[in-house]
């Protein structure tokens, strides 16, 4: 998390955002009050000038816990204001990198638009319409079925497995392409990607939500009161997804192997 920054200069952040990031980071490196707060500031000190790839990299280290803003003597609301707001700066840079490395770009713009829910509903209805026509008996979708395994009399097992597998493979491919694109844009070397020690340390930081602790006091988000609640809620979300995944794997094992 705090290893050497890549040297790439290819990430296309706006010049004004890059200039503002350089200004704020220079202030931060002269102050160093936030050095122990999170992963961003030790990484900032590895640079004297900041290319676009550096800012994109730093933005994705930030967890938006606002711990740095709460103790910053130069923040916008302080007596000695210098307009320093690292969380807002990195949030904007992070949003731009999300859009830049989303694959395919058109799908990102569609889902990030004002009506993503309607798009998902429309695609779901289209899928069920295709199923109804392909099965040859659309009435089965609305009829009652009391017999054993009645669910698969409505929608066949393969109609669930094949589309779900195709969507999963597609999602993994586009996420992998986005990660690879970000890695290339930040100028990282292949040997860094294969550094087992660095990957193990990063995995422990992620699983332990190390940088959500905000210097062990917690996060000051969305208000100004510092609390560990946000970190605990992230744990709950992670455990919820993990429980869902394990339940699905267990159900597949019981059905396919144990009958």
> d(Cα 140, Cα 233) in Å, to the nearest integer?
42
What does the pLDDT read at residue 9? 39
**pLDDT per position in the chain (259 positions), as tens?**
444 444 433 446 788 888 899 889 988 888 888 877 777 888 888 888 888 888 888 898 888 887 788 778 887 665 555 788 888 899 999 988 888 888 887 777 777 777 777 888 888 888 878 877 776 777 766 677 676 666 777 777 787 788 889 989 999 998 898 888 888 877 777 787 788 998 898 888 888 887 777 666 777 766 777 778 888 888 899 999 999 999 999 998 998 888 7
CA atoms within 13 A on the CB side of 101: 27
Indicate if the alpha-carbon torsion angle 182, 186, 187, 189 is positive or negative: negative
How far apart are the C-alpha atoms of 67 and 220, rounded to whole Å? 6
What angle in degrees, to the nearest 10, is found between the helix axes of 52-59 and 157-185? 130
Distance from C-alpha of 77 to C-alpha of 23, rounded to nearest angstrom: 18
The packing angle between helices 86-101 and 52-59, to 10°, is 100
Residues 252, 44: Cα–Cα separation, whole Å:
47
């Amino acid at each position: 998390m705090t290893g050497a920054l890549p040297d790439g200069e290819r990430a296309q952040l706006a010049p004004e955002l890059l200039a503002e990031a350089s200004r704020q980071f220079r202030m931060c490196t002269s102050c160093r009050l936030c050095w122990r707060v999170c992963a961003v500031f030790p990484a900032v000190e590895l640079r004297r000038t900041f290319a676009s790839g550096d800012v994109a990299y730093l933005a994705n280290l930030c967890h938006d816990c606002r711990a740095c803003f709460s103790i910053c003597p130069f923040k916008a609301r302080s007596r000695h204001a210098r307009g320093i707001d690292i969380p807002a700066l990195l949030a904007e840079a992070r949003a731009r990198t999300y859009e830049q490395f989303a694959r395919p770009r058109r799908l990102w713009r569609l889902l990030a638009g004002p009506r993503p829910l309607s798009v998902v509903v429309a695609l779901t209805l289209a899928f069920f319409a295709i199923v109804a026509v392909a099965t040859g008996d659309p009435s089965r979708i609305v009829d009652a079925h009391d017999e054993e395994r009645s669910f698969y009399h409505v929608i066949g097992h393969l109609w669930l497995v094949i589309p779900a597998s195709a969507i999963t493979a597609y999602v993994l491919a586009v996420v992998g392409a986005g990660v690879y694109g970000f890695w290339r844009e930040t100028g990282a070397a292949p040997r860094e990607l294969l550094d087992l020690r660095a990957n193990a340390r990063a995995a422990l930081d992620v699983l332990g939500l190390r940088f959500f602790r905000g210097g062990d006091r917690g996060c000051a988000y969305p208000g100004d009161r510092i609390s560990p609640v946000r970190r605990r809620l992230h744990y709950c979300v992670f455990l919820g997804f993990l429980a869902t995944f394990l339940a699905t794997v267990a159900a597949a094992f019981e059905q396919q192997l144990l009958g």
